[in-house]
Chains A and B, each alone.
Chain A
Amino acid sequence: MNEMQFLTWVRGPGLDIAVSIFLLGVIWRLLEIYSLGRKKDLAAPRQAAGASGFHTVFRRSMPPAGMGMVKKSPVSYIGGYIFHIGLFFVVFLFAPHIKLINSLIGVSWPGLPSQFIDLMAVVTMAAMVVVLADRINRPVKRYLSNFEDYFTWGVTFLPVLTGWMAVQHLLLPYTTMLALHILSVEILLVVLPFTKLFHAFTLWGSRWYNGQVNGHKGVAV
């Protein structure tokens, strides 16, 4: 297989397979998790301002007030914010990505200048490297970490790296690098529903449950 055939495959059957596994995987996992249900809470509820599942879904995007958590775990918070926001910019606001999405599902929105996305990609990768270093250095994180933590870091990092390298024409011919980039995204799509990356889908439900269970008691968490 030459590089053109490789690119054709990842753009065609490869993408179809990856997107299918991703979509079916997400639906399967969501059913597997949320169909377990839960018991009704029979305790008499107490109302309090700001205490509900809905509130917590939003509130948890910020560190809890007055607990000094950012100071205690600065890399998790600051590095975490930077790479999540960076990923959002790079994935959804890069013009060629919007074009691809438009060709697949027919929706489109304005992108950001390519130079800005380049910068965001570098910042995102830098933040991810710092977050990885923190995982290795910090006793608690190292203790909690297993193969999956490093593996998922890798499959998230590679699409950013290969995409940036393709745009910058680094190391390999553009066609090959672009094909590698698409392949790395396909791996990410396949892996996402079945690893901790699935938190992208479940964290909203988790926050809602926590907020709702405690909101029943009149506690705004």
Chain B
Amino acid sequence: MSATLEKGVRVLKEVIDAPIASYFNSCVHCGICAEACLFYTETGDPKYTPIHKLEPLRRVYEQEYTLLGRLAKMVGLSKPVTDAELAEWQELVYNSCTLCGRCSVVCPVGNDIVYMVLKLREGMSASGNAPEGIKGAVNRTVTIGSPMGVKLPAVKAQMKHVEEDYGIPIPLDVEGAEYMVMLSSMEIINFPEYLGAIAKIMRQAGKTWTLCSTAFEATNAGYQIGNSDLARVIVSRIVEGAEKLKVKTVISPECGHAYSALRWNGANVVGRPFTFQVKHIVEVLDEFRAQGLLKTEGFETDRLTFHDPCQLARRGGVIQPQRNLMNMVAKNFVEMPDAGFINWCCGGGGGASAIEEGEELRLEAFKKKKSQLDAVKPDRLVTACANCRIVLEEGLEHYQMDIPVVGLTEMIAEHIPEKGA
């Protein structure tokens, strides 16, 4: 057994807990999870059945934590997990799983399959079997500060641009601000409108807010790849920044997994509860709306539909706020079939979009989104996740569908009256 494999198996042994043991013992191989997985429905290949993706974890569980499994291993009836096997499983654990969680919703015996995929990824990562694409993103986040290699000067440059374009100062490192706003690299590089939109919205709401020079990047590739140590480094930066600036709330940007990583996993990786709240920008906007702090004028009149990011809706419980906001500014808002809680993934969540060799499969899986869009034929597609947005744009381009994708926050901001107007 090689050193890295040994480490991987040791990590797998450590992550196995009572829920996982209960889940594996409950599976009756009914295969219903396959029907909920877009990688199976769009390819028809049974190897993409969600529970099958966990086979190495199941074997380690059986061999280490069950009496019969231990006996079988002793007499050589049950073969130990090998490096080659884990390498083979990389495609199943990463490329073809976006942690979308539909399988966890349909399993009749109640298995939370995504919970287990995240744990298996920890062993995969420890044994060196994570995809290069996500590895690179993690390394850049840890060494440079962001998965796309964005450094503070780039953020400052964008702040300056936004200040010039919008005529609103962008606060940096302001102690005692109510909100600390996080960004995703995707927003810094591809969607600068987001920062401008925040500035407009906060000004109208009369709220104090700030960016943080030591913690501006919200995305957490450590969480996606399954490396708790790196996930902790990334979350700790945010915790330190938020505590140093004494903010009440940290706003997770339009990014699904950043929200899951910070809101639901953050306190667990740093090992203590947060002293501040974490909210997704869509939750904050809906609160402003409910409190009368968000006032818009005019309506979009073209046909709009909304793509629910999995981590926000199904895995995060935020479903109605985005609809309230859509209805504030859209006259012709139509829902796709399966929208909301059971929405289909864009195909690139959970780090999958960073895996170059997974592109072909990703585009194949996108046929599901295509069919949802074909059913309602929208003029534009709105979402609240920069990663979904990029993946959707790639898919739409590939299938030659002329549907622009917009972020919800910036669309809302466009309807905020100019100051004094």
Query: Which A residues fall within an 8 A CB radius of B?
Result: 28-29, 32-39, 41-44, 46, 48, 51, 56-57, 60, 63-64, 66-67, 69, 72-73, 76-77, 80, 135, 138-145, 149, 194, 196, 198-199, 202-203, 205-211, 213-214, 216-219, 221
Whether B52 lies near A144 (C-beta < 8 A) is yes
Q: How far is the CA of A221 from the CA of B112 in the complex (A)?
A: 10
Inter-chain contacts of B104 with A (CB < 8 A)? 210, 214, 221
Whether B110 lies near A208 (C-beta < 8 A) is yes
Q: How far is the CA of A32 from the CA of B317 in the complex (A)?
A: 33
B47 at the interface (CB under 8 A from A): yes
Whether B52 lies near A199 (C-beta < 8 A) is no
Inter-chain contacts of B324 with A (CB < 8 A)? none
Whether B30 lies near A206 (C-beta < 8 A) is no
Question: Which of A37, A56, A64, A143 is within 8 Å of B47, CB to CB?
Answer: A143
Closest to B260 in A: A217
Inter-chain contacts of B271 with A (CB < 8 A)? 42
B257 at the interface (CB under 8 A from A): no
Q: Which of B13-21, B199-207, B408-416 contacts A (4 or more CB under 8 A)?
A: B13-21
Inter-chain contacts of B65 with A (CB < 8 A)? 32, 36
B314 at the interface (CB under 8 A from A): yes
- Distance of A77 from chain B, by nearest CB (Å): 8
Closest to B265 in A: A43
Q: How far is the CA of A205 from the CA of B24 in the complex (A)?
A: 11
Inter-chain contacts of A77 with B (CB < 8 A)? 32
Inter-chain contacts of A57 with B (CB < 8 A)? 110
Closest to B262 in A: A43
Whether B52 lies near A37 (C-beta < 8 A) is no
Q: How far is the CA of A143 from the CA of B49 in the complex (A)?
A: 9
Q: List 14 A-B contacts (CB under 8 A).
A: A32-B21, A33-B25, A43-B263, A43-B273, A44-B277, A60-B109, A63-B106, A63-B108, A144-B52, A199-B26, A203-B108, A209-B22, A210-B19, A210-B111
Whether B22 lies near A39 (C-beta < 8 A) is no
Q: How far is the CA of A194 from the CA of B21 in the complex (A)?
A: 13
- Distance of B60 from chain A, by nearest CB (Å): 13
Inter-chain contacts of A208 with B (CB < 8 A)? 110
B121 at the interface (CB under 8 A from A): no
Proximity bits, B47-86, A CB within 8 Å = 1, else 0: 1010110000000000001111000000000000000000
Known: A43-B266, A60-B109, A210-B115; 20 extra A-B contacts, CB below 8 A, are A32-B21, A32-B67, A38-B17, A42-B271, A64-B106, A66-B342, A67-B338, A72-B35, A76-B108, A77-B32, A141-B29, A144-B29, A144-B49, A203-B26, A206-B25, A209-B19, A210-B104, A214-B112, A217-B264, A219-B317
Whether B110 lies near A36 (C-beta < 8 A) is no
Inter-chain contacts of B35 with A (CB < 8 A)? 69, 72-73
- Distance of B57 from chain A, by nearest CB (Å): 14
Whether A41 lies near B314 (C-beta < 8 A) is no
- Distance of B313 from chain A, by nearest CB (Å): 9
Q: How far is the CA of A76 from the CA of B49 in the complex (A)?
A: 15
- Distance of B175 from chain A, by nearest CB (Å): 23
Whether B342 lies near A42 (C-beta < 8 A) is no
Whether B19 lies near A206 (C-beta < 8 A) is yes
Whether A36 lies near B266 (C-beta < 8 A) is no
Q: How far is the CA of A149 from the CA of B268 in the complex (A)?
A: 37
Inter-chain contacts of A42 with B (CB < 8 A)? 267-268, 271-273
Whether B108 lies near A33 (C-beta < 8 A) is no
